[in-house]
A and B are shown apart, each in its own frame.
Chain A
Amino acid sequence: MWAFLKKDILVLLRDRTELAVLLLMPFILIVILGFSLRGLMAGNTEALNMQVALVQNDDEQAGITEFTEQLETLELQEQTVAGMAAAAEQASPFRTLQMMLASPELAEMISVEEMGAAAARDALEEEEVVAILTIPENFTRLALDKMLLGTGPGTELALTIEDTTSTRADVFETLISDFARALNFETAASRVAAEEGISLEGQGAMELGGLETTSSGEPVDSFQYYTLGIAVMFVLFVSANVAGNTNVERNRHVFDRIMLSNRHPFMYLGGKAISAAMIAFTQLFILFFLSTLVLQAFEWDSLNFWLGMALVSAMLSLCAGALAAFLTTLTVRLNSDAITTVFSGGIVTIFAFLGGSFIPLTGMPDIIQELGNWTPNGASLTAFLQWVQQRDLAAVTDPLVRIGGTAAVLFALSLALFPVKGAN
Chain B
Amino acid sequence: MLETEGLTKSFKGKKAVEGVSLYLDKGESVGLLGPNGAGKSTTISMISTLARPTSGDVRLNGKSVVKDPSAMRSVLGVVPQEIALYEELTAHENLQFFGQIYGLSGKPLETAIQHVLKLVGLEDRQKETVKTYSGGMKRRVNIAAAMMHKPDVIIMDEPTVGIDPQSRSYILEMVRRLNKEEGLTVLYTSHYMEEVERLCDRVYIMDHGSIIASGTKDELKRILSGEETVWIELDRAYPELFAELKMNEHIIQAAETEKGIKLIIPKGKRMLAEIFQLAERHQAQILNVNVQTPSLEDVFLHLTGRKLRD
Given contacts A14-B129, A261-B98, A424-B52, contact A254 B86 (CB under 8 A): yes
Name the interface residues of A249-287: CB closer than 8 Å to any CB of B: 251-254, 256-263, 267
CA of A263 to CA of B83 in the docked complex: distance in angstroms? 21
Residues of A within 8 A of B84 (CB): 252-254, 256-257
Q: Closest residue to A251 on the B side, CB-wise?
A: B82
Residues of A within 8 A of B74 (CB): 262
The answer to whether A15 has its CB under 8 Å from any CB of chain B is: yes
Name the interface residues of A344-389: CB closer than 8 Å to any CB of B: none
Name the interface residues of A1-41: CB closer than 8 Å to any CB of B: 2-4, 6-7, 10-11, 14-15
How many whole Å from B168's CB to the nearest CB in chain A?
21
Residues of B within 8 A of A4 (CB): 101
Q: Closest residue to B77 on the A side, CB-wise?
A: A260
Residues of A within 8 A of B49 (CB): 260, 423
CA of A424 to CA of B88 in the docked complex: distance in angstroms? 28
Size bracket, chain B contacts: 20 to 34
- Please state if A258 and B101 are interface contacts (CB–CB under 8 Å): yes
- Please state if B97 and A252 are interface contacts (CB–CB under 8 Å): no
| In the complex, per-residue mask of B75-114: 1 if CB is within 8 Å of any chain A CB, else 0 | 0101010111111110001001110111000000000000
Size bracket, chain A contacts: 20 to 34
The answer to whether A422 has its CB under 8 Å from any CB of chain B is: yes
Number of A-B contacts (CB under 8 A): 73
CA of A399 to CA of B84 in the docked complex: distance in angstroms? 43
Residues of A within 8 A of B271 (CB): none
Secondary structure at the B interface, as helix, strand, loop or mixed, is loop
- Please state if B52 and A260 are interface contacts (CB–CB under 8 Å): no
CA of A222 to CA of B295 in the docked complex: distance in angstroms? 78
Query: B80: which of A253, A258, A421 is its contact (CB, 8 Å)?
Result: A253
- Please state if B80 and A11 are interface contacts (CB–CB under 8 Å): no
How many whole Å from B127's CB to the nearest CB in chain A?
13
- Please state if A257 and B145 are interface contacts (CB–CB under 8 Å): yes
Given contacts A3-B97, A252-B82, contact A260 B76 (CB under 8 A): yes
Residues of B within 8 A of A256 (CB): 50, 78, 80, 84
The answer to whether B69 has its CB under 8 Å from any CB of chain A is: yes
Query: A422: which of B50, B86, B101 is its contact (CB, 8 Å)?
Result: B50
CA of A334 to CA of B145 in the docked complex: distance in angstroms? 28
Given contacts A253-B82, A260-B48, contact A423 B145 (CB under 8 A): no
Query: A257: which of B52, B88, B98, B100 is its contact (CB, 8 Å)?
Result: B98
How many whole Å from B126's CB to the nearest CB in chain A?
15
- Please state if B97 and A261 are interface contacts (CB–CB under 8 Å): no
Name the interface residues of A403-424: CB closer than 8 Å to any CB of B: 421-424
How many whole Å from A281's CB to the nearest CB in chain B?
22
CA of A296 to CA of B76 in the docked complex: distance in angstroms? 58
Q: Closest residue to B145 on the A side, CB-wise?
A: A257
Instruction: Give 12 A-B pairs besides A7-B86, A11-B88 with Cβ atoms closer than 8 angstroms.
Output: A3-B97, A4-B101, A7-B93, A7-B97, A251-B82, A259-B50, A260-B49, A260-B76, A267-B101, A421-B52, A422-B50, A423-B50
Residues on B close to A: CB < 8 A?
48-52, 69-70, 73-74, 76, 78, 80, 82-89, 93, 96-98, 100-102, 129, 145-146, 149
